[in-house]
Structure 1
Amino acid sequence: MYVYICRLVYTAVFLCGLVSYGFPQSPKAVFKHLTINNGLSQNTVYCILQDREGFIWIGTEDGLNKYDGYEFTIYKHNVNDKNSLSNSQINALLEDNQGNLWIGTSDGINFFDRNHNRFSHIYTISKSSSEANDYITAFLQDKKANIWVATYNGLKLYDPVNKMFISYLSENDGPGTANKKVQTIYEDNRGMLWVGTSKGLSFFDTGKRRYLPAPPVLQQDSKLTGSAIRAIKQDKKGNYWIATETGGVFNYNPEKNTCINYRQQANGTNSLLSNTVRDIFMVDDNEIWMGTREGLSILKDGRFSNYKYDKYDPDGLSHNSVRSIIKDRSGNIWLGTFAGGVNIFYAGSNNFTSFAEAIGTRPGLSHRVVSSILNNGNGTFWVGTEGGGLNYIDRKKNLYQSYPILDQQKKLISNNVKSLCKDQNGNIWVGAFDGLANFNVKTHMVTVYRSLASNPNPGENQIYALSATDNGLWIGTNGAGLQFMNPKGRITSYTHNSKDVHGISSNNISSILKDVDQNAYWIGTQRGINYFDTNTRKFTQFKYNSSDKFSLQYNSVLTLFLDSKQRLWIGTEGGGLTYFDRKNRRFYAIDEKEGLTNDVVTCH
């Protein structure tokens, strides 16, 4: 093997803040998207519900979707099927305390028969009525189990005995008036109904069955009295949050008789993204999510964090207009958007930061495919890519650096990095598709190693695995076996010999892992795993055996991992995840049949 030294040319890109809008310190939010590409019937989502069985129901502009976490079952109106939905536009969903599913459409209410997978219909107005279609906008089951329905023809109460609806119109709800268009209903802790209409708030006393005037402080602001009310929520302190179509969000404190209006500010700093707010979700008293026409605004501890659609951010919002927000029983938050389907924010996902490829003006990694990651400590990482060379990330300084691997003539050796490790001096060993390099982190000098043979094995320069020791470096190649290089650069090779039962099982090495025994290593190959005792220089092979159900179930090994209890886990290329029981020398496989997402398992 020959050696030469040169200086790496590097490029530095400074990341000027996470992907956020409005308040500059917005943390990165990562969303999973469910759209028509995943099987959703339509990308305009009006409502979302999780039922008592755990299914997620999604109401769209064209169809009702039942999601089981993997697949969608879609229900639509069919003119030739009387048991189908009465209309395919789904505006509201409710599961009552008896487990009945209420579906509000643009033409009536539907009940879903879970046993027979069919629908029955009921209407809040007579089909011979001169009124417009029976447009349903919201449901509410009150503390007494009564079902209230918001419609474009006023507030309705369901009479379960006679299976009909009683209509409650305020004295201002004459024919054709905006007040008749009820958008939302909320029951407060006194049993009073807050009725949000297309022209302000109304209050309904369910005991006396009559409307009451709003508190004076809520009648003074024309932005509230003249705007459509989209959502009403109450926090644990007893304060009310009111989302409007044109006036932003109002926070009413009944104890202090005050009302604060949150609106979009001209400079966009620490304010709502838009004055059009379609839904509100209370995470807790100190964190409120607001779905607006221009993105998601989160008010936490008096400051706004804002999130908008960014075509360069694959993990961001899929569309700006957020129309509905719910939280499932696992704590995940689901957002329905106007044209981007569903966005899911998984509980705890704010602990993760995505590092993607640099696109356009957005800084990032030098290549999208990441092959290896080395934790350098203190929030810094070395990242190997399959086409962009070596990358360095400093999360605290918001810094990206990329290092193409060049030889002494400044010709590119290989930007296809397969493996990384750090030696006792803190320098980085880089295993690439066409050679081995040692990068001095202080001087940025690189030492490149290649085979001295005139006609080397093609795999000898393909370095797929590395492990540094105090007295040398273990090197896993893609065809030339396992090698050990001492500090002077001398190589000792261990190659497969079919006649040697104590030799290595394959020359294609994918992973090298130091065992809890300091004198031993686990070697992952394309033909099983090997336990290598460095004192005896002997390998113990573990491979698939069709007559032994406790043998390794798949030979092509991609990765090896020792957990905190020193248990060995094996990731395979098609056989799932395998656990090795050291005491009994048995292997136990976990694959797709046991619920694993995919049978190809790797990690770095």
Structure 2
Amino acid sequence: MKKSVKLLVVAVLVSCSLWSQEFYFKHYKVEDGLSHNTVLSSLQDKNGFMWFGTKNGLNRFDGYTFKLFQNNSEDVKSLHGTYIECLYEFEDVLWVGTDNGLYSYNEKQENFDLLEGTSAKQILGLMADVESNLWYIANSTLNKYNTKSGKTDSFPTDLFFNATAIIKTNDNEIIAASSNELYKYNKVSNSFISYGIKVQGDPKLPFRINRLFNLNDHVILLGTQNHGVLAYDILEGKILDMLQELKGPIYVRDFALRGKEELWVASESGIHLYNIKEKVYTNLVKDYGNPYALADNAVYALTVDDEGSVWAGTYFGGVNYYPNQYNHFKKYFPSLSENSISGNAVREIRPDNKGNLWIGTEDAGLNKFNLETGKFTNYTSKDKGGILSHYNIHGVLPMEDKVWIGTFDHGLDVLDVKQDKIVAHYNMGDRSTLRSNFIFSLYKTRTNDIIVISTSSIQSYNSQTDNFDLVGTFPEHIHYTCFFEDKSGVLWAGSYSEGLFYYDPNTGDNGNYIYNSLDAEGISNNHINGIFQDNNDTIWVTTENGLNLYDPIKKTFKKYGTKDGFPSNAFYSMLAGKDNELWVTTSNGLVEYETVTGQKKSIPRKVVCLVINSIIILVTKVRMEQCILGALTE
């Protein structure tokens, strides 16, 4: 994956009702390997692969990369159609309907066989019955192909009807549709019987059935061209008075049922969602200011995979993926048209005691985010008309009515929140004893001392002298990355390349743990990202190559990584949950880790930072999100 800017995820404990969560889609387009941004059909096969039919061939997706199957005029075993109109899996064989014939996929050889008699025909519908018959619509003619005998029966349009859709009911009945009628297949006569449906539509708009879908054992949904969704009871033989929100000028393309109650309807006007039990409706559409919204309003195909996630194929916006797991996220990103976070590259997030989060970015200064109102207040640098010394913020520390702000190579600012102005600035030289202008992080001790972690030293703020003192025995000229005071009062400092330092103010004991490839019980890496103490007072150290559990008696480390089931060897931050539960961030997602049983659950996102109590702050590689994690309520 290409590296991008950071993403902030804020986990806030809120109550959520039906449809209260936002819907965020991940987009897969040509630049991601998709053969074309127009996706006409989709399917998940027996092996779990996702298949997408486009206007430029067939795509198989394994969750990481696309494998393309396209027209090759010199290969008789290739698809000779360009538009992949429909997909269907029958008797463990994938069938591919194109604008130039119907093909069966040979899984071992990864090639295709053309079904005899379908060359140069447009295939617009596929369905199978329990008697090994594959039904398909070719140039509006319905056909029945028996895979055992190889025989094909056709139902020509001049003798029957112009077929537009076909479906097998839950009772194994075959029902086909013309533009304005339904037909039931009679096996004895090998013919069709009309249901005689009567629909009073808008005379100015043509009534046409595009799609059929089984809602339950006796109700079929009719997706129409200009009249939305109609529910037809095949037992009672009548249109039902239901799904009122889905009627009207909606051009329906496809259906999907997520679970037993959540109906998804693909249309030319976005995705229409309807909860059948609660009778709650919403319409998902493209939003030009939201990079996570649908990429296009014209949605042609829907597939719910075996995890309950939804894949939507659009006409201009490629594949749009809505994951089932961990979908209670509210994302925040810069927007010129509304109140929003000011930057993309989030570096630091800290809560104050007034219900705000202070968010430092590396590209657009500081933000105050009110958790109750959802409003942002933006602070930018002086060269951009603001009050900050620099726009690249690394350290943020709220202290009562002030916020200490560490910058990249421009020193330290102090913001008075009530006055809304900078009341102090500290820089190297002059009267300041600050050892570096690059403030990497800030930390508050249990006695409310302010610790300045810089690329040259560990210092504490001396309020009596209004200056900075070196802390303990931590050496100078070290690029420090983090600081921690454990429950016994021992001070710890992590560095960029010099390992882990410690100092005990009570005894004067101090030392430095560095990586040694010959020491199996030593620390795993010299690049320290974080230091943490859990509910059992155990010290954990995160590094760029391994998670380390510290043994204070032996002064040794037990190392964890991918060999132990974690998704990555790069660890960043940690937070205690209930009992022996830890939340651990890695370069390949967030992990819920039970330290006694060793059980792990992963959220596959690139996450970098966690903070405090029932509020989790996660920094990853794109923008800002707000999520619900009920495990951290206590």
TM range, normalised to the smaller chain? Answer: 0.7 to 0.9
Using a 3 Å threshold, how does the CA distance of structure 1 residues 276 and 459 change in structure 2: closer, same or farther?
farther
Is residue 49–residue 61 contact of structure 2 (8 Å, CA) maintained in 1? yes
Is residue 505–residue 541 contact of structure 1 (8 Å, CA) maintained in 2? no
One-letter code aligned to 1:431: G
Is residue 169–residue 175 contact of structure 2 (8 Å, CA) maintained in 1? yes
Q: Secondary structure at the match of 1:465?
A: strand
Alpha-carbon distance, 1:113 to partner: 1.7
Is residue 111–residue 121 contact of structure 1 (8 Å, CA) maintained in 2? yes
Deviates more, 1:531-540 or 1:310-319: 531-540
Alpha-carbon distance, 1:261 to partner: 7.2
Alignment-derived partner of residue 133 in structure 2: 146
Query: Identity across aligned pairs (percent)?
Result: 23
d(CA) in 2 for partners of 1:477, 1:416? 16
Alignment-derived partner of residue 221 in structure 1: 200
Structure 1: any 5+ residue segments left out of the alignment? 1-24, 128-132, 264-269, 496-501
1:211 aligns with 2:192: yes
Using a 3 Å threshold, how does the CA distance of structure 1 residues 229 and 273 change in structure 2: closer, same or farther?
closer
1:588 to 560, 563, 583: 560
Matches within 5 A, 1:501-516: 503-504=474-475, 507-515=478-486
Matches within 5 A, 1:80-479: 80-96=74-90, 98-125=91-118, 133-169=120-156, 173-174=157-158, 179-182=161-164, 184-206=165-187, 209-214=190-195, 218-222=197-201, 227-236=207-216, 238-253=218-233, 257-260=238-241, 275-300=250-275, 301-359=278-336, 361-375=337-351, 380-404=356-380, 412-423=388-399, 425=400, 427-433=402-408, 434-442=410-418, 444=420, 446-451=422-427, 453-454=429-430, 460-479=436-455
Using a 3 Å threshold, how does the CA distance of structure 1 residues 186 and 379 change in structure 2: closer, same or farther?
farther
d(CA) in 2 for partners of 1:410, 1:213? 73
RMSD over equivalenced CA pairs, Å: 3.7
Q: Secondary structure at the match of 1:116?
A: coil
Alignment-derived partner of residue 547 in structure 2: 578
d(CA) in 1 for partners of 2:539, 2:213? 50
Using a 3 Å threshold, how does the CA distance of structure 1 residues 519 and 567 change in structure 2: closer, same or farther?
closer
Is residue 21–residue 329 contact of structure 2 (8 Å, CA) maintained in 1? no
Q: Secondary structure at the match of 2:347?
A: strand
Is residue 325–residue 334 contact of structure 1 (8 Å, CA) maintained in 2? yes
What is the aligned length? 549
Matches within 5 A, 1:33-112: 33-96=27-90, 98-112=91-105
Is residue 34–residue 343 contact of structure 1 (8 Å, CA) maintained in 2? yes
Deviates more, 1:48-57 or 1:139-148: 139-148
TM-score (norm 2): 0.76
d(CA) in 1 for partners of 2:539, 2:497? 18
Alignment-derived partner of residue 20 in structure 1: none
Render the CA deviation track for 1:406-465: whole Å, top value 9, x for unaligned: 79x985412221122344x47543322223344455554544341463397996232211
d(CA) in 2 for partners of 1:349, 1:377? 28
Alignment-derived partner of residue 267 in structure 1: none
Is residue 36–residue 43 contact of structure 1 (8 Å, CA) maintained in 2? yes
Q: Secondary structure at the match of 2:436?
A: helix
Q: Secondary structure at the match of 1:148?
A: strand
Deviates more, 1:453-462 or 1:505-514: 453-462
Is residue 52–residue 59 contact of structure 2 (8 Å, CA) maintained in 1? yes
d(CA) in 1 for partners of 2:218, 2:350? 50
Is residue 576–residue 598 contact of structure 1 (8 Å, CA) maintained in 2? no
d(CA) in 1 for partners of 2:153, 2:115? 13
One-letter code aligned to 1:578: L
d(CA) in 1 for partners of 2:328, 2:248? 24
Alignment-derived partner of residue 526 in structure 2: 555
Is residue 437–residue 446 contact of structure 1 (8 Å, CA) maintained in 2? yes
Using a 3 Å threshold, how does the CA distance of structure 1 residues 404 and 219 change in structure 2: closer, same or farther?
same
TM-score (norm 1): 0.80
Using a 3 Å threshold, how does the CA distance of structure 1 residues 226 and 380 change in structure 2: closer, same or farther?
same
Alpha-carbon distance, 1:253 to partner: 4.7
One-letter code aligned to 1:151: A
2:501 to 524, 527, 530: 530
One-letter code aligned to 1:122: L
1:602 aligns with 2:608: yes
Is residue 558–residue 601 contact of structure 1 (8 Å, CA) maintained in 2? no
Alpha-carbon distance, 1:65 to partner: 0.9
Alpha-carbon distance, 1:362 to partner: 3.6
Q: Secondary structure at the match of 1:358?
A: coil
